[in-house]
Amino acid sequence: MKIQTVALATLFSISTSLIINTPARADAGVFVGIVYNFGPKSDLGFSAKLVSDDAEDKVVGALGVSYFPAATYKLGADIGLGYTFENGLVTAGYDIFNKKPQFGLGYMDTQD
């Protein structure tokens, strides 16, 4: 658990540093939605993610945390890529805590 916490803190630090220090900076966005972890024991959960850009029709990076109410291990931390559309985002990534591929869909306030 300590290694996973350190890994999540490191990824969050690197991603926020990249977002803040990028010269031609895009506005970061926030995603809230549902996620599905694939695997032998699949899980459905809720997620909040920091997204690298809030513009519509863009490929973006995403870093998030998830909660899985019915799972044995209820907390997840993920990193992935996504595609924004009008007031939404679809993501594909990897849940580091649960060691499973993840798909997400949800709301994000996008800009034209």
Say whether pTM exceeds 0.75: no
The domain tally of the chain equals 1
Domain boundaries, position 12: 2-107
* pLDDT for the residue 27: 85
Q: 102: Cβ–Cβ under 8 A, 6 or more apart, which residues?
A: 35, 36, 37, 38, 66, 76, 78, 80, 91, 92, 93, 94, 95
Is 112 within a domain?
no
Structure confidence by residue, pLDDT tens digits, 9-68? 666 666 565 555 555 556 889 999 999 999 888 999 999 999 999 999 999 999 999 999
Q: Which of 19-23, 63-67, 71-75, 107-111 has the lowest mean pLDDT?
A: 19-23
Structure confidence by residue, pLDDT tens digits, 79-96? 999 999 999 999 999 999
Is 46 within a domain?
yes
